Amino acid sequence: MSGEPDDHAQRAVLLAMRALLSDDHNYERGVAALDELVDRTVRERGPAALRDVAVALSLALATAVERIAQDQGLAAEDLVEVWFAE
């Protein structure tokens, strides 16, 4: 994969986010849909495609964190530390 996610990876990221952020807020159904998306990606396109989706998802998350941090006047790294602290 080059620097930019391909169309399949971008579409998979959108589907993953929609699954987890569904209107009915049904966590279990969202996770099941995400599991199916991961399984289908590996089955139809192979492990390299799953890596591409993981990279695209990470890039999308980082972009969202940067926007939120900027809105709150924080450094993105600091916000990540707060959100993902163990």
Q: Give the chain's mean pLDDT.
A: 85
DSSP, res 21: T
The per-residue pLDDT for range 56-85, each reduced to its tens digit, is 888 989 999 999 999 999 999 999 998 888
Domain coordinates in residue numbering, the chain: 7-83
Q: What is the pTM of this model?
A: 0.75
On the question of pLDDT at 2 being above 80, the answer is: no
Per the rule left: phi > 0, alpha: psi between -120 and 50, beta: everything else, 3 is alpha
Inter-residue contact 34 to 53 (CB < 8 Å): no
The per-residue pLDDT for range 15-31, each reduced to its tens digit, is 888 877 876 667 788 88
State the pLDDT at residue 17. Answer: 83
CA torsion, points 71, 23, 82, 76, in degrees to nearest 10?
-40
State the pLDDT at residue 69. Answer: 95
State the pLDDT at residue 1. Answer: 44
